[in-house]
Structure 1
Amino acid sequence: MVDYAQEQQEELEAIESIYSEEIDIIGDGPHRFTIPVKTEEYNEDEGEGRYVLLKFTFTPKYPSEAPLVEFEETENIDDVHLDELHKHLEEQIEENLGMQMVFTIVSAALEWLCEKNDQIKHDMEEAARKKKEKEEEEERKKLEGTKVTIESFLAWKAEFDRERLEKKGVKVLTGKEKLTGRELFMSDTTLNDSDIKFLAAAGDTAITVDESLFEELDDLDIDDDEESDDPDWNPGKNDDSD
């Protein structure tokens, strides 16, 4: 009969002698411990290199059955590469069932990490570059504004004018009303013509319509009275005539 407890204890003692300065025993029922794996240039303070803290847990029938291996901590490794490393270690475990395998797993993890270091670095730099390009593209689109066609502008302008007139209580024109100066200005269709000419000249150029500029029309001080405040003012009289 296999004495699993004895085998586990013997392996743990051997592992402690090999990784004496790095291993951290965190439990003995079952045996649990962590061993760090890192690339040569790893520097925690400067954020360089790759690092994985492997956490081992001996199952009751280890080594006849697989130990639990988890990534307790990681540095500078994305989820995609962690998945690759996890699959690589699973293959090592499957190949070594029935044998003490902690040293083999740690060695395989270190070898994989060092070999993948350049690729990981390149992939992370590429991901950062694409993210930056995406952010710059989104910012550029915001600055460019929305492309406006003659049709879309006229549709927007009609709705905008309708809402503004309703807000001010201006009646819908029938052609018989006597309009105030403000209403004449607000209903001047030549303004639409000038807008259309501007859009036609702009072609496909993206144009931003700032609605606040139209809203400021409400603040214009346009005299609604039919007569001037100057009693001597005569609109039909030429100032230069005798």
Structure 2
Amino acid sequence: MTDYKEEQRNEMEALQSIYPDEIEIVAEEPYHSFKLQVQPQNAEDFPDHAMSAVILFTYTENYPDAAPIMEFDSTEDMDDSQQDSLMEFIKSQAEENLGMAMIFTIISAVQERLTTMMEQAAKDQETAEERRKVAEEEAERKRFEGTRVTVESFMAWKLKFDAEMAELRRLRGLSDIANKKPTGRELFFLDSTMNDSDVKFLQSEGDTLEVDESLFENLGDLELDDDFEDVEDDPDDDDEDDD
């Protein structure tokens, strides 16, 4: 009969010797439970994608003939999909190694897996950066080139432009007409009652029109221009008259 407890104690001693700084004992009863920090050996090669994980292992009653309970205590620089993928990988490793002490094998496989994941993340970032640069260069090129003009696109633009200009001229004409002050002549022709206003005025006065003669009594007191007086006193005019 297999003594599972003994096998588990032996493996724990080996793990503490191999990973003195990475292992943390959480419990010993009823079964050993411990955390192991896992980092890829070349993490320094990928400073922007330094993935790591702390895995919590708990032995089961029949370990190693049955897989231990495994879950992430924490992860670094991994999204949910990457965590799920890595856990599926860990479980597959446990299934492949049933019947023997497997923790060291699982940790070694996870280290290699993390390296592969970091390499892929670095490639994905590089590809995304290249695509971004290409997109920016293309956008910059199009900005300088502008829109390519064809005969069809030019004619469509011209029709639209001509229509807009015609509408603008029409609106300006309406505005000028609305704001223009009519002249006396225009008022005369616009108001038909002014055509016979003088006739109506005379008819209203009868056959005779009275004039206020007092308005013309003081014409002699008016100061006439010197030029006008010179014309009246010009002796040449008198000579001509004598002749």
Higher relative helix content: 2
TM-score scaled by length of structure 1:
0.49
Structure having the higher Rg: 2
TM-score scaled by length of structure 2:
0.49
